[in-house]
Amino acid sequence: MRLTTFSDYTLRTLIYLALRPDSLCTIDEVAGAFGISANHLTKVVHQAALAGEIQTIRGQHGGLRLAQAPETITIGAVLRRTEPDWDIAPCFGSGAACAIQPACVLEGALGDALAAFLSVLDGKTLADLVRPKRQLSELLHMKPAA
């Protein structure tokens, strides 16, 4: 199983903003820190704002910040929002045809594995992801907070 780039960029953006709780950040700043496309990040930020995870402030002194406390943003919820489909095998899709589908145990096993995966991520919050705050800030070349 592999997460989409959209999910990856969403998590990176949320991590960055969680590391800068007292600052407004720009898309270019986040993109530069991770070496990713600002154009793609614009779409990520737009969707995160619609979901209520990020607040966007327009204008000359505008920017981005978290709209919720990091402790309230669960990684499972973010991934459920950002991943387009959870069909981890062709037999999960609608209209899938397989000769052994009526007796197949694999589909149930994969379904259980997916449920376990999401369950673990439901127990993780954005606050958990930024626990090594100092090290993450250094790796992203962030200036220490004033």
Domain of 130: which CATH number? 1.10.10.10
H or E, element range at 141: none
pLDDT in tens, 23-41: 999 999 999 999 999 999 9
Q: Name the residue range of residue 63's domain.
A: 5-139
User: 113: which 2 tokens?
Assistant: 């594995």
Helix locations, 37-145, DSSP H: 38-50, 75-82, 106-122, 126-129, 133-139
Q: Is residue 75 part of a domain?
A: yes
Q: Is residue 12 part of a domain?
A: yes
Using CB atoms within 10 A of its CB, is residue 73 exposed (0-12), middle (13-18) or buried (19+)?
A: buried
Q: Is residue 145 part of a domain?
A: no
Q: By three-state DSSP, how is residue 31 classified?
A: helix
**pLDDT tens sequence for the chain (146 residues):** 789 999 999 999 999 999 999 899 999 999 999 999 999 999 999 999 999 999 999 988 899 999 999 999 999 999 999 998 888 877 776 666 778 888 888 888 988 999 999 999 999 999 999 999 999 999 999 875 54
Q: Is residue 112 part of a domain?
A: yes
Q: 60 phi and psi, to 5 degrees?
A: -60, -35
Q: Is residue 42 part of a domain?
A: yes
Q: Is residue 144 part of a domain?
A: no
pLDDT in tens, 103-124: 888 888 988 999 999 999 999 9
CA distance 68 to 70: 6
Give the dihedral sign, CA 101/105/106/109.
Answer: positive
**Would you give the DSSP letter of residue 61?**
T
Q: Is residue 11 part of a domain?
A: yes
Q: Is residue 146 part of a domain?
A: no
Q: Total domain count for the chain?
A: 1
Give strand pairing partners of 16.
none
